[in-house]
């Protein structure tokens, strides 16, 4: 396995009349060996473009990407020692499950015995041994996704990349597959980079989460840190279901209590661990964030 380093990376697309659109804006990531990192954010935030640049499917406009100690900016996707699992499964409809999983190994001229062993081992891990002779059209969505993951496993890559792999599954199957992919990471001890727009998916799967918006990284941290100590208003509002409540007002001292005076006239007593620092904000316009479970 290997670490992944994304160093001041930009993706800029040309637009009309000589202008340009910056889809990824100065992204910096350090993904440790064997870590499971999730990129999350709304549609169009740049998370999938970032993943595709790591995979080599998008050219980098500026910056550097390393897999291990190797700079891979100009390395072809097939030579980066990565395996990618796509949203649409990308299975060959005319091939059996076995042949779909074995296809990449055959291209690399592996022997029949080694191919059979790797496919068999991956099928056992994923619980799809009885499906190896079937065609993709005879499989459910969850089974197809397992085959797509199996095709990645047999490669034994340095890095696994997942691009919204559960988006086409129903809610019940998504929960099941989240658990399976998390267990797979623990079993393989692999470096995994996972993209999703679903913040619940991100919070339940990642060792660390990268929150993105408008092409920029908003915050990188563990799920609990992001939830309890968001760096900005976007992160605070994006993570959580139902979302955080925001109230405009200002801090004041009333007798021995520090209170938050709402702009609309209400009063909320607020407890501060650092009361002296709280006094620095007295009389200033503020925004109070309250999680629904704290009401």
Tell me phi and psi for residue 237, to 5 degrees: -85, -25
Residue 181 confidence (pLDDT): 92
Paired residues of 251 in beta bridges: 260, 282
Residue 8 confidence (pLDDT): 98
Residue 275 confidence (pLDDT): 67
Q: Name the superfamily (CATH) of residues 4-238.
A: P-loop containing nucleotide triphosphate hydrolases (3.40.50.300)
Tell me phi and psi for residue 257, to 5 degrees: -110, 145
Contact (Cβ atoms closer than 8 angstroms) between residue 32 and residue 67: no
Residue 294 confidence (pLDDT): 85
Where are the domains positioned within the chain? 4-238, 245-290
Paired residues of 3 in beta bridges: none
Tell me phi and psi for residue 203, to 5 degrees: -70, -30
Q: What is the pLDDT of residues 269-278, one digit of tens each?
A: 777 666 677 7
Average pLDDT for runs of 10 along the chain of length 295: 94 90 97 98 96 97 97 95 90 95 92 96 93 94 92 94 91 90 92 95 96 98 96 95 91 82 82 73 87 87
Residue 169 confidence (pLDDT): 86
Angle, alpha carbons 275-280-282 (nearest 5°): 90
Paired residues of 14 in beta bridges: 20
């Amino acid at each position: 396995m290997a670490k992944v380093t994304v160093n001041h990376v930009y993706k800029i697309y040309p637009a009309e009349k000589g202008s340009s659109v910056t889809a990824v804006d100065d992204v910096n990531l350090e993904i440790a060996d064997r870590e499971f990192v999730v990129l999350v954010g709304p549609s169009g935030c740049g998370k999938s473009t970032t993943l595709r640049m790591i995979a080599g499917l998008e050219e980098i406009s500026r910056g550097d990407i390393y897999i291990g100690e190797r700079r891979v900016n100009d390395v072809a996707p097939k030579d980066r020692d990565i395996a990618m699992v796509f949203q649409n499964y990308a299975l060959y409809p005319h091939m059996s499950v076995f042949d779909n999983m074995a296809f990449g190994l055959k291209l690399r001229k592996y022997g029949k015995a080694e191919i059979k062993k790797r496919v068999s081992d991956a099928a056992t891990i994923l619980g799809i041994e009885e499906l190896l002779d079937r065609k993709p059209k005879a499989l459910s969505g969850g089974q197809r996704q397992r085959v797509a993951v199996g095709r990645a496993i047999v490669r034994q890559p340095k890095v696994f990349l997942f691009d919204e792999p559960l988006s086409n599954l129903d809610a019940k199957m998504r929960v099941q597959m989240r658990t399976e992919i998390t267990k797979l990471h623990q079993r393989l001890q692999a470096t995994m980079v996972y993209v999703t727009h679903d913040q619940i998916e991100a919070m339940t799967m990642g060792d660390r989460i990268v929150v993105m918006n408008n092409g920029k990284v908003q915050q990188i941290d563990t799920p609990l840190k992001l939830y309890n100590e968001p760096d900005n208003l976007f992160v605070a509002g994006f993570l959580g279901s139902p979302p955080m409540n925001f109230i405009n007002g200002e801090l004041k001292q009333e007798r021995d209590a520090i209170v938050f005076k709402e702009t609309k006239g209400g009063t909320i007593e607020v407890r501060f661990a650092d009361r002296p620092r709280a006094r620095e904000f007295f009389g200033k316009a503020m925004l109070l964030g309250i999680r629904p479970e704290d009401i």
